[in-house]
Structure 1
């Protein structure tokens, strides 16, 4: 489970009702919602929340480094609250379901010097693609 709410409280982030609801919707494991999905779920809890408030809050959470934006194949950005634990993503090619994965090894160390082309590499992102169990059955 993500600890987004605890991290935000620890930072002294001003927790309005709207911000709290957005953070609650995002908090959890394997959460990768679009802004519209966040809005839909937040509106169930707080019907008066506006689209602008959701988008502004997501932007602020990304700027704070508390939530990461995840883009897959030019589709809508998704928001990942698991921003403080390095991980990769497993994406279903059919339904776009996303799961966090934590494989072993050091991707930076695995990149040979001959393949770095003079770059000083400080980060690696990996996206695994395939079919989720639900899509495999259909």
Structure 2
């Protein structure tokens, strides 16, 4: 689960009602990475007067702060990941583009055989799993 709100409070980031609702939408615990339009729609349910520009600006600030990561796959709309400080990989639906956090038991850093490292000192790895979500598979 994301701890975005706690991190932002710890940084002393000014949590206006608009910023707070955007952070709450991102920090909802579903581990689904939303597009900016999806964040706006959910934020507007809680705070009807919130503007699309405010949502976009807040997302941009969160990315600049390093508290949220932009995730883009296969040329689709950017999605926003509040788990910027927790190691994980992504599971992407090739049908609808939904992205979920996953934590495989193996490590992609240690799973790469020595003869496949070509002399590199590997410091990071990004693995993306792809498939169909239950809704797209039915």
Say whether the fold is shared (TM-score over 0.5).
yes
Alignment match, 1:130: 131
TM value normalised by structure 2: 0.89
- 1:70 touches 1:78 (CA, 8 Å); kept in 2? yes
TM value normalised by structure 1: 0.89
Would you say 1:85 and 2:91 are equivalent positions? no
Q: Which moved more, 1:118-127 or 1:19-28?
A: 118-127
The CA distance in 2 between the partners of 1:48 and 1:134, in whole Å, is 32
Stretches of 4+ moved more than 4 A in 1? none
Q: CA deviation at 1:49?
A: 1.7
Q: CA offsets, 1:98-124, max 9 Å, x none?
A: 221101122112223443344443211
The CA distance in 2 between the partners of 1:23 and 1:4, in whole Å, is 7
The CA distance in 2 between the partners of 1:135 and 1:50, in whole Å, is 31
1:13-52 correspondence runs (5 A): 13-27=13-27, 28-52=29-53
SS at match of 2:91: strand
The CA distance in 1 between the partners of 2:5 and 2:85, in whole Å, is 13
Unaligned runs of 5+ in 1: none
Unaligned runs of 5+ in 2: none
Paired residues, what number?
137
Q: CA deviation at 1:62?
A: 1.1
SS at match of 1:128: strand
Q: CA offsets, 1:37-68, max 9 Å, x none?
A: 11111122222222221111111111212111
The CA distance in 2 between the partners of 1:45 and 1:117, in whole Å, is 52
For the aligned residue pairs, the C-alpha RMSD in angstroms reads: 1.6
